[in-house]
Structure formats: structure tokens, C-alpha cells
Structure 1
Amino acid sequence: MAKIPPIPLGEAQARLLALASPLPIERVDVSGAIGRYLAEPLLARRTQPAADLSAMDGYAIRSGDLEGPWRVIGESAAGHPHGGPIHPGEAVRIATGALMPADAGAVLLQEDIARESDAIRFIGELPEPPDKHIRRCGLDFREGQVVLPAGIRIGPAQAALAIAAGHKHMPVPRRPRVSVIDSGDELAADPDLCAKHQIPASNALMLTAMVRGLPVDATRFGPVPDTMDALAETLEQASDSDVIVTSGGASVGDHDLVKPALEAWGAKLDFWRVAIKPGKPILVATRDTDAGRQLIIGLPGNPVSSYVTAFLFVMPLLRHLLGASEPLPRRFRTTLGAAVPATTSRQEFRRAAWNGETVEPLAVQDSGALASLSASNVLIDRPPHSPAGQPGDAAWVYWLENGGFA
């Protein structure tokens, strides 16, 4: 039987996202929606500004009455409008954000005015056009207008806009439940009790910290021994999760039991092995239950491979479940500051440091080297069969929210 080759990254990501079922939508208060993704377009319930306002401190006059002098007949402050109309030869002292008086069509800046008692005269340059310093009704948005599209992540500015548009609640998909499982006999739960044949268990903590950068409910399990019984018991404990992420045991060795354990648990393998470096032995499976579809992503055990595949698969999946319109990570273009080797048939992601102008790959690229991962703030994206890159060549990179100097 012919060996099935690894699939390309783009195809693997598309297949993973296509497996996900939408999560139920809930309405939460605006402050509770920050960090989540909008499930439906948000329409303004009011107009902003609701009336013409002054954009500057000064004096409001009629638009056809620009020669002066004028007599000051009152004041309009923010929240305290002037009560009556304004006639030719009259002016109203006005503050930034205050309601324009009826019939007023121009604002003269206070620094362009000479005032003696209630008489003012103009000593500067007239505004051009006359309404230059007026915020017109509806300048920001109007009632019924879409102010936020579905799929946008709600940050402080979006939350403020929602409130300004008249909303106290926002529709968002419910928070995904995520279980992260660390497996392997070589893992020591306590770094103080780590024998020479062991390594401290760090992947689950790393992965849990990554997913908690999104609005999810995450639970960490492990380290789990390399036995079918132990894996089955842990999978059962995670059976109410929307997404299960395993680290380790996804390869083909005699002690790599994640794949058979998932199959015995009732999960169906969708794909296994992706043409990337690091992270080739990633697997994706699904398990359909009465409560809905669970998605399982089996990541490699080497910590850098685990991090990179979580960045490329787990995080996009969670953003997709959360309703993001653009769940995949974004690249940006920069320039190589040092040489990089040619690539083979796999797409490569090299840890690197970007200084704002150029990017330099780190010397150690071994998939078990956490120190170089910690020192990197970007991944250089190198397509399959790329020639060697030289300083000054263009390069695509992914930004990592990786602590350190970020």
C-alpha cells in the first residue's frame, strides 16, 4: 500500500476549519464582550452626533453674518445648550462638543477674537468653509447604519462604539471549552523531581497559556502516562470539551498511542501529517456526540513543534469557533538581515528576531530548543522548494505574541 504524502499547510488549515460546527450565540453586556468576536452585524440605534455640535472653543454666529462686530448674547456649553435662536449681529460663546444654537452656521475660534465686555470683533482668518469647525449631525454614524461587521474582534474602541450606537449588549458565540492534554512517560510533573531520563512537563502549560489569550474556558490535564488505559481515562474526563488538544504521542513509534487511543474512543481521523517543518506529525480528528461535534488536534511532543502547530492550527480553529471573520494568522513583509538555507518539500517556519526593519533567524532551530523559541518574536515563513535567502531579500513573517521583548 502506497504511503500517503503529507498534505500542504493551506489545505490542512481549510479542512480543519471546515470540520467545525458553529457555537450557539449568546448576548452579553458590552464590557463582557471585550476580547470576543461579534456574531452579527451591529446596527446603530441612534445617530451620532444627534445634532450639530461645535468642534472647537469659540463663538457661534450665523453663516451669512461673517463681518461683525457681534454682541455676545449667551453661552452654549457641553450638556448645557443655549436656549434661543441667534440673529444677525449676535454671537454665542460656545465650547467644544456643545450644541450649536438654532440658525448658527459658523464657529469663530476664540484665539481669533478680540472681546470687550459683550462686544467681539474678528482679528484672524475666517473659517473656510464657514462650517469648518462644526461637527454635523450624523458625522460619525446614523441610525440604522452598520457600525461593526460580524466577525470583528471587540476591543476597547469597538466596545465604546457599540455603547455610543445605543447598545448595552452584544451578540457573541459562546466561549469554547478546551482541554489540553500532555502525554508521555518521559515527562516529569515536578521540575524538582526530574530524573536524567525525563524532561519537565511544559507543553501543556505553554499551550494552555496560548489558548487563554482568547476568550475560552481551558482545562489542563497531565502529564498522562503512555498507556491506552491512562489516555482513555483522560479523554473521558475531557468528553464535554469542544476542542481537545494533545501534545506528544502523535507520531508512529511503538509508544505513540494518541492515534489508536482516539480511534478506540470513537474519534474519526480526518488527516494526519502536514508538509511543514517543524510539526509534520500533526493529526486532526472529530468525534460526534449528542452534544455536538468535538474536534481533536494531536500536536507533536517536541516543544517548538507543539508551539508552531498550535499557532498554525489550534489558534485559528478557536478564532473560527469564536466567530472571527479572519481566523488565520496574518503575515507581514520585511527584509532578511541574515542568510537562510534553501527549503525542501516542506514549508518551513524558522524562529527569528525582528528589530522593526530586518529579521534575523536564530542560530538554533532544533525542534526541542525552547531557549530559541523564547528569544524569537516572529516566524519566517519559507515556502517549499525555496532557494537560499540572502541578506536584503524580502521575507514573509508571522508576528508571535511571545512575551520577551514583544
Structure 2
Amino acid sequence: MSALLAVEEAQARLLALKPPLGADNIGVAQCAGRYLAQDVVAGRDQPAAALSAMDGYAIRFADMPGPWTMAGEVAAGTAPAHALGPGEAIRIFTGAMLPDNADTVVVQENVIADGARLTLTGDGPASSGRHVRARASDFAAGALLLTAGCRLSPGALAAAIMGGAGDLIVGGRPRVAILTTGDELVAPGRALAPGQIPDSNGTMLAAMLAAEPADVTLPLRVRDDRSVLANILGDMARRHDVIVTVGGASVGDHDHVRGALDDAGGQLDFWKIAMRPGKPLIAGRIGDAILLGLPGNPSSAFVTATLFLLPLVRYLAGAAAPLPEVSQAPLAVSLGPGGARRDYLRARLDKGLLTPCDGQDSGQTQPLISANALIVRDIGAAPRAAGELANYIAIA
């Protein structure tokens, strides 16, 4: 366990500790943000008939340029009363079904109605099919709409519903407990004695998980006591899928996470990653629960949660691609060579350019205010000049 693991190997080993959770069949109104567990195939054409895309008059293009005889009207949600005859027009509204034989809509601004007579006054449609949404122009019955493992965004839910779905089969919601460790920690907003600090990490991690399909137990502060921590870990493991500890992951006399994992009957899988910040990261199992021990410095906790905690929760919830996506953008400033560990620089992506934040110390929180990206600098990477491309991970 003395060698530092590469980030990719550590991520793969973490996700291998537990399979994704079982699936749930729930109503579409409760599916936002969940990960689809089964492909969604359209059960109907959308639209199911040719529809008007504008308020106007349905005609046969062959009868252009008119005039036409009015033969009724049709609104959205009703069926046309009869087919369109030669020289006839029907008043039609956006979303309404075209009558049989109609193939074009003249917008209402380009005609004038005088009793039953309709006359073209402006530019008419240049071709058949204008202002008409053809049947199945969105999708046809039998089309694959959504694939298993995708996140159900508002748009994805709209498509599933239009395809006929009333409920969906989605991945489960991991139960996540957050434990912050350290005698120095005090609840947010409380008065501080000398040597004490506010517990920012617990709230920060809970906020990072708020957008994920997870049931999160509110952060619990645990003092630096190995036996107390071991008892809490054992209890949490019986009721959670993931236990996240923050702090106590290094090798100091008051760092008890690794020892408490052993005392709770758990098994260590890996410890220490070749990354900066975030080297002292721990992963193991206690029963069916995964223990993920994050370092206690705020930026270290944020970066490791981005690279390990969020992917783990997404994987357990059924995501097909749980790992953060690496993109590229040009640098606004030059960067020196990479070091002995992979660096994740808190940075700002603005107007297409990446700028590292002032202050990269792992104990600082101010850079996290403006950071919306992590610049990824591989071990021993060559220097980069301003304007050259750099890898980055987008963060919220």
C-alpha cells in the first residue's frame, strides 16, 4: 500500500467495490435527475398526425394562389370534421391536425377573410408543406429515444412522455453518510475557541451531492477517537451504501480513519493517490458499504469528491458514464512543468480561456468561490504557453 496509485486505477478500483444498485419503477414526475436503467422506445409517432405549426389556414398547395372558400375551422385537440375539397380552406390554429388532402398552411398575416372568401394579400407559401409539422417528424413509433444509463434531464423526460411513457425504470438512490472528523471542528456559525475551525466540509459535500440521485444523511461531526469512529462506521455501514469520512486520512497521531476501518471489521482496498491536492485518500469496504475517506483540507476534499465521490454515487445510481468528462481549452497564462503527482488546479474558464485561480493551497476555500474548472496537469507534463490547449474538468 506504500506506492501511490494513478487516479484512473484508483477510480476503477473504487467503482469495482460494489455493483450498481437495483432498479426502481417509478412515475415520470419523480424521475428527474435519475439514471435510466432500461432503454426507452417510442410507443407512438410524434406528432401522431400532420399538425399546423402556425395560426392560419390549411389549404392544398395545388390551389395556390387562391382565392379559397372557407369550409370551417379546427383547433388543437380536435379532429377535422371533413376532408379538404378543391379550392377550400379551413381556419386552423397552432398544434391542430390538418384535414385530409391539406398539405400547406398559409399564415393568417398573409390573407384576408371576407365572409366565406379567403384571398391572399401577402407572400404565400413557396412550397408544399410550409408551416406543417409532418407526422413522425419528431420521432416514429419504435424509435430508440433514450438509452440505459443516461441521466433523465427535463428534456429527456419530455421526450419519454411524448413517446408514451407514464413511468420509467431507473437506477436506485444510494444512501450516503457524511462524517467529518476532528476535535477542531465546530458547527457552522458557532463561536470558536482557540485552535478551532468551522466545519465547512460537511456542508460543502452535502451541497455537491444535492444534485445527485442520492439520499444523504446530514453531516455528522466525530471527534478524534478511534474507538468512537469505529463504532459509528460499523453502525453506518448497516444503513448506508457509502460512508464518506472527511479528515483523518493521513498518517498523523490523530488520523484514525484507516485504523477505525480495521476495528469496524472493514477491509482496506487502497490508500494514497498520485494526485495533488488529495494524496491521502482511502477506500475500502465495511460489509456491503463502501468507505471513502477524503482528506480534510477543503480544496483537497472538493477535488477528491469531484473525482471519486460523485462518480461513485453516479455509478451506484446507474450512470453509464459516471467519471468526469475531460475537455480542452486554451490557457490565458503560461504554466510550468508538471510535478511528481498529477495536479488539479482550481481555475476559471471565462470567454473560452482557462486561468488558474490565485492560491492553490489545499487549505484555501476562497479559490473555490470563482473556480468553475480543474486544470489537469499530468505527472511530468511539459510546460504550456499562453494560448496552448490544456485539459480541464468542468465543476459547478
Give the aligned partner of residue 312 of structure 1: 307
Which one-letter code corresponds to 1:261 in the other structure?
A
In structure 2, relative to structure 1, the CA distance for the partners of 1:222 and 1:87 (3 Å cut) is: closer
* CA shift for structure 1 position 67: 4.3
Among 211, 222, 226, the residue aligned to 1:224: 222
Written as runs of structure 1 = structure 2, the 5 A alignment for 1:366-377 is: 366-377=361-372
* CA shift for structure 1 position 66: 2.8
Contact between 2:257 and 2:293, CA under 8 Å: does it hold in 1?
Answer: yes
Contact between 2:61 and 2:127, CA under 8 Å: does it hold in 1?
Answer: no
SS of 1:192's equivalent in the other structure is: coil
Contact between 2:209 and 2:310, CA under 8 Å: does it hold in 1?
Answer: yes
Contact between 1:266 and 1:287, CA under 8 Å: does it hold in 2?
Answer: yes
Give the aligned partner of residue 254 of structure 1: 253
For residues 14-53 of structure 1, the C-alpha deviation after alignment (integer angstroms, 9 at most, x for no partner) is 2212222121111121111111111111122222111111
Give the aligned partner of residue 335 of structure 1: 330
Which one-letter code corresponds to 1:302 in the other structure?
N
Among 289, 296, 305, the residue aligned to 1:301: 296
SS of 1:37's equivalent in the other structure is: coil
TM-score of the pair, normalised by structure 1? 0.92
Give the aligned partner of residue 378 of structure 1: 373
In structure 2, relative to structure 1, the CA distance for the partners of 1:221 and 1:68 (3 Å cut) is: closer
Distance 1:82 1:301 in 2: 68
Which one-letter code corresponds to 1:352 in the other structure?
A
Give the aligned partner of residue 242 of structure 2: 243
* CA shift for structure 1 position 307: 0.9
SS of 1:232's equivalent in the other structure is: helix
Which one-letter code corresponds to 1:323 in the other structure?
G
> What are the ranges of 5 or more consecutive residues in structure 2 without an aligned counterpart?
none
Which segment is superposed worse, 295-304 or 117-126? 117-126
Given the alignment of the two structures, is residue 175 of structure 1 paired with residue 173 of structure 2, yes or no?
yes
For residues 173-217 of structure 1, the C-alpha deviation after alignment (integer angstroms, 9 at most, x for no partner) is 221100111112232346534222222222122112212221211
Contact between 1:75 and 1:81, CA under 8 Å: does it hold in 2?
Answer: no
Contact between 1:60 and 1:105, CA under 8 Å: does it hold in 2?
Answer: yes
Give the aligned partner of residue 404 of structure 1: none
* CA shift for structure 1 position 310: 0.5
Distance 2:67 2:186 in 1: 85
Give the aligned partner of residue 183 of structure 2: 185
Given the alignment of the two structures, is residue 271 of structure 1 paired with residue 270 of structure 2, yes or no?
yes
Give the aligned partner of residue 54 of structure 2: 56
Contact between 1:277 and 1:348, CA under 8 Å: does it hold in 2?
Answer: yes
In structure 2, relative to structure 1, the CA distance for the partners of 1:257 and 1:50 (3 Å cut) is: same
For residues 200-238 of structure 1, the C-alpha deviation after alignment (integer angstroms, 9 at most, x for no partner) is 222122112212221211113432122221111211331
Which segment is superposed worse, 63-72 or 302-311? 63-72
SS of 1:384's equivalent in the other structure is: coil
SS of 1:370's equivalent in the other structure is: coil
SS of 1:19's equivalent in the other structure is: coil
Contact between 1:340 and 1:361, CA under 8 Å: does it hold in 2?
Answer: no
Give the aligned partner of residue 142 of structure 1: 140
Which one-letter code corresponds to 1:185 in the other structure?
D
> What are the ranges of 5 or more consecutive residues in structure 1 without an aligned counterpart?
402-406
SS of 1:238's equivalent in the other structure is: helix
* CA shift for structure 1 position 287: 2.8
Which one-letter code corresponds to 1:279 in the other structure?
G
Among 109, 113, 116, the residue aligned to 2:114: 116
Among 326, 345, 348, the residue aligned to 1:350: 345
For residues 274-315 of structure 1, the C-alpha deviation after alignment (integer angstroms, 9 at most, x for no partner) is 111000111111233xxxx21111111111111110010000
Distance 2:265 2:218 in 1: 22
Aligned-pair Cα RMSD in Å: 1.9
In structure 2, relative to structure 1, the CA distance for the partners of 1:192 and 1:63 (3 Å cut) is: closer
* CA shift for structure 1 position 64: 3.1
TM-score of the pair, normalised by structure 2? 0.94
Contact between 2:248 and 2:254, CA under 8 Å: does it hold in 1?
Answer: yes
Written as runs of structure 1 = structure 2, the 5 A alignment for 1:10-159 is: 10-159=8-157
Distance 1:6 1:112 in 2: 73
Which one-letter code corresponds to 2:298 in the other structure?
P
* CA shift for structure 1 position 148: 1.5
Percent identical pairs in the alignment equals 42
Which one-letter code corresponds to 1:180 in the other structure?
I
Which one-letter code corresponds to 1:246 in the other structure?
T
In structure 2, relative to structure 1, the CA distance for the partners of 1:134 and 1:192 (3 Å cut) is: closer
SS of 1:333's equivalent in the other structure is: strand
Give the aligned partner of residue 284 of structure 2: 285
Give the aligned partner of residue 322 of structure 1: 317
* CA shift for structure 1 position 128: 4.3
Written as runs of structure 1 = structure 2, the 5 A alignment for 1:358-369 is: 358-369=353-364
In structure 2, relative to structure 1, the CA distance for the partners of 1:234 and 1:328 (3 Å cut) is: same
SS of 1:38's equivalent in the other structure is: coil
Give the aligned partner of residue 197 of structure 2: 199
For residues 63-114 of structure 1, the C-alpha deviation after alignment (integer angstroms, 9 at most, x for no partner) is 4333432211111221233301111111112112111111212222323324
Which one-letter code corresponds to 1:254 in the other structure?
D
Which one-letter code corresponds to 2:96 in the other structure?
A
* CA shift for structure 1 position 130: 0.5
Which segment is superposed worse, 216-225 or 309-318? 216-225
